[in-house]
C-alpha cells in the first residue's frame, strides 16, 4: 500500500512536470512582466514623492491658490454677514438700472431729475432709483398678476390683459407717484406763499435785511416753502449770489406765483429798487391770485361732482324709489 501510494504521487508529480516548454515559458514571461510593471509603477511613485520639491513658480502658484481659497472663504463669510438688501436687492436694482438706461432715452434722465426737484426729492430718491424702479415694476407686477390669475383659473385672454396692464402700471407707476407728490407740494407752496411774503414784508419793514428776513421765514414757518427758503440760505452761505439762489428757487418749483415773486426780487436786486415796497406789492398780488384760485376751484366742484352723482348716487336713489313700484307691478301681472 505504501509503495502504491508513493508510486501514485511520483506519477502525479511527473505529470505536472511534463508541461510543454512553450506553455511554461509564456506563463513565466507573463508573470515576470506583471511583476516588473508593478515595480516600475512603485519606483516612479517613490521617485515623484521623493523629488516633490516645488520650484519658485510652483510655490508662487500654490501660494496664490491658497490666498484665493482664503479670499473665497472670506467672501463667503462676508456674504453671510451682509443683509438681504445688500445681497439681493442692490444687485437686482443695478441690473434693472442697466436695462432702464438702455430703454429710456438720453433726455429722460433730465426730465426725471426735474420731476424730482418739483417733488422735493421724496425719500432721497435719485434718477437711477426711479429708472430701476420703473424696470422692476414692469417685470414684477405682471408676474404677481399672472400668479393671482392662475390661482383663480382665469382665461388666457384675461391673463394676457392683466399682464399688459401690469407692465404699463409698473413702468409708469413711479411717474404717477412723482406727479401726485408734485401736485401736493405745489398746492402747499401756493397756500403758504402769501403768508410767507407777508412775514418777509414785516421783517424788512422792521429793519432786517432781506437775507435775515428769509431766515426768519425759514425758522418760524413749516412746509415745503420753508425748506426751500432754508436751501436758499445755505446756497448763499456757500458762495452763490442772491440772484442765482433765487433763480434756482424758481427753477425747483412749477408754481407761477413763486416764479413771479422770484422774478420781482431778482429785478429789485438788480436795479436797486427798495425791497419793502416790492414785497408789499407782491404780497397783495399773491393774495389776490390765491383768492382767484380758490374761486376757480370752487366753481369746478359742480362739474366734478356730476360723475360720482350719476354713477353712484342716482342708481341707488332709483332702486329705493322705483323698487317697491316695480315689485308691486310684478306681483299684479303674475
DSSP string, 95-155: HHHHHHHHHS-TTHHHHHHHHHHHHT-GGG--HHHHHHHHHHHHHHHHHHHHHHHHHTT--
pLDDT band (50, 70, 90) for residue 283: confident
Measure the CA–CA gap between 251 and 292, rounded to whole angstroms.
Answer: 24
What's the pLDDT tens digit per position in 89-133?
666 667 666 766 677 666 777 888 888 888 887 767 888 888 888
Residue 137 near residue 171 (C-beta atoms within 8 A):
yes
Given phi > 0 = left and psi -120 to 50 = alpha, else beta, which region is 290? alpha
Give the pLDDT score at 169: 92
Residue 137 near residue 166 (C-beta atoms within 8 A):
no
What's the pLDDT tens digit per position in 167-218?
899 889 988 999 999 999 999 998 889 889 989 989 888 888 888 999 988 8
What's the pLDDT tens digit per position in 147-162?
888 888 888 899 899 9
CATH architecture of 187-291: Up-down Bundle (1.20)
| pLDDT at residue 223 greater than cutoff 70 | yes
What's the pLDDT tens digit per position in 45-104?
443 344 444 445 555 556 656 665 555 545 544 555 566 556 666 666 676 667 666 776
| pLDDT at residue 279 greater than cutoff 50 | yes
Q: What average pLDDT does the segment 312-333 reach?
A: 87
Measure the CA–CA gap between 126 and 130, rounded to whole angstroms.
Answer: 6
Residue spans of alpha helices (H) in 206-313: 210-220, 224-237, 242-251, 256-271, 275-308
Residue 256 near residue 277 (C-beta atoms within 8 A):
no
Q: At 238, is the secondary structure helix, strand, or coil?
A: coil
Sign of CA dihedral 199, 201, 204, 207: negative
Q: What is the DSSP letter of 311?
A: I
Mean pLDDT score of the chain: 76
**Domains of the chain, residue spans:** 187-291
Give the pLDDT score at 129: 83
Amino acid at each position: 500500500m505504501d509503495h502504491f501510494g508513493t508510486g501514485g504521487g511520483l506519477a502525479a508529480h511527473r505529470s505536472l512536470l511534463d508541461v510543454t516548454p512553450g506553455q511554461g515559458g509564456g506563463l513565466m514571461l507573463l508573470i515576470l512582466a506583471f511583476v516588473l510593471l508593478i515595480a516600475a509603477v512603485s519606483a516612479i511613485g517613490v521617485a515623484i514623492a521623493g523629488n516633490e520639491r516645488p520650484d519658485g513658480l510652483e510655490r508662487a502658484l500654490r501660494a496664490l491658490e491658497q490666498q484665493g481659497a482664503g479670499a473665497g472663504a472670506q467672501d463667503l463669510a462676508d456674504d453671510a454677514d451682509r443683509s438681504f438688501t445688500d445681497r439681493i436687492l442692490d444687485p437686482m436694482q443695478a441690473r434693472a438700472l442697466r436695462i432702464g438706461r438702455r430703454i429710456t432715452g438720453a433726455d429722460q434722465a433730465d426730465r426725471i431729475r426735474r420731476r424730482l426737484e418739483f417733488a422735493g426729492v421724496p425719500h432721497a430718491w435719485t434718477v437711477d432709483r426711479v429708472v430701476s424702479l420703473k424696470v422692476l415694476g414692469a417685470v414684477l407686477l405682471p408676474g404677481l398678476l399672472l400668479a393671482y390669475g392662475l390661482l383663480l383659473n382665469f382665461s388666457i385672454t384675461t391673463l394676457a390683459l392683466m399682464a399688459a396692464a401690469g407692465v404699463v402700471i409698473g413702468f409708469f407707476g413711479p411717474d404717477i407717484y412723482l406727479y401726485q407728490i408734485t401736485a401736493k407740494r405745489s398746492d402747499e407752496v401756493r397756500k403758504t406763499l402769501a403768508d410767507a411774503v407777508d412775514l418777509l414784508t414785516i421783517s424788512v419793514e422792521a429793519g432786517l435785511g432781506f437775507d435775515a428776513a428769509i431766515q426768519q421765514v425759514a425758522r418760524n414757518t413749516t412746509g415745503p416753502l420753508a425748506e426751500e427758503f432754508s436751501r436758499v440760505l445755505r446756497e448763499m452761505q456757500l458762495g452763490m449770489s442772491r440772484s442765482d439762489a433765487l433763480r434756482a428757487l424758481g427753477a425747483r418749483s412749477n408754481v407761477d406765483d413763486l416764479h413771479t415773486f422770484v422774478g420781482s426780487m431778482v429785478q429789485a436786486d438788480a436795479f436797486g429798487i427798495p425791497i419793502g415796497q416790492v414785497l408789499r406789492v407782491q404780497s397783495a398780488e399773491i393774495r389776490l391770485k390765491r383768492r382767484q384760485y380758490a374761486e376757480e376751484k370752487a366753481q369746478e366742484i359742480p362739474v366734478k361732482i356730476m360723475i360720482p352723482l350719476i354713477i353712484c348716487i342716482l342708481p341707488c336713489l332709483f332702486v329705493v324709489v322705483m323698487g317697491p313700484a316695480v315689485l308691486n307691478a310684478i306681483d299684479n301681472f303674475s
